[in-house]
Amino acid sequence: MRIGELAARTGVSVRALRYYEEQQLLVSARSASGQRHYPEGAVGRVQLIQQLYAAGLSSRTILGILPCVLTGEVTPELLDRLTTERDRINDQITGLTSTRDRLNAIITTSASSLAAGKPCAAQG
């Protein structure tokens, strides 16, 4: 499939797909006229890359783990790396949950104050 079709099927921009190739995360074959052509498996690979980016992994980290993740061949080093990334994500979730809970408490207090006729003179 050509790059436009891969972009449409994955919801990823053509520019991002070109970046993935520059970072060696994605490989295409080139036609005689230089057009990129991707195998069917590229759809799943791009989706995996997107998930890993969304989890906060860098392209360098993704490049290091992608081959092992795709083949299922796990080394102790890969397992350590994945565990470290999972722990980092869990820490972010904990922090975001705490921030959300604090904001909920502020909203509740503010709503009560407003209902009691004591609005806060917000600035900004």
Verify that 30 and 18 share a domain, yes or no.
Answer: yes
Number of domains comprising the chain: 2
The number of helix segments (H) and strand segments (E) in the chain equals 5, 2
Determine the pLDDT at residue 77.
86
Determine the pLDDT at residue 73.
85
**pLDDT tens by residue, 86-117:** 999 999 999 999 999 999 999 999 998 888 88
Does residue 70 or residue 64 have the better pLDDT?
64
Verify that 66 and 83 share a domain, yes or no.
Answer: no
Amino acid identity of residue 39, one-letter, is: P
Determine the pLDDT at residue 82.
85
pTM of the entire predicted model? 0.71
**pLDDT tens by residue, 27-53:** 999 999 989 999 999 999 999 999 999
The CATH number assigned to the domain holding 40 equals 1.10.1660.10
Q: Which residue in 3, 40, 30 sits closest to 18, CA to CA?
A: 3
> DSSP letters of 20-36?
HHHTTSS--EE-TT--E
Verify that 59 and 7 share a domain, yes or no.
Answer: yes
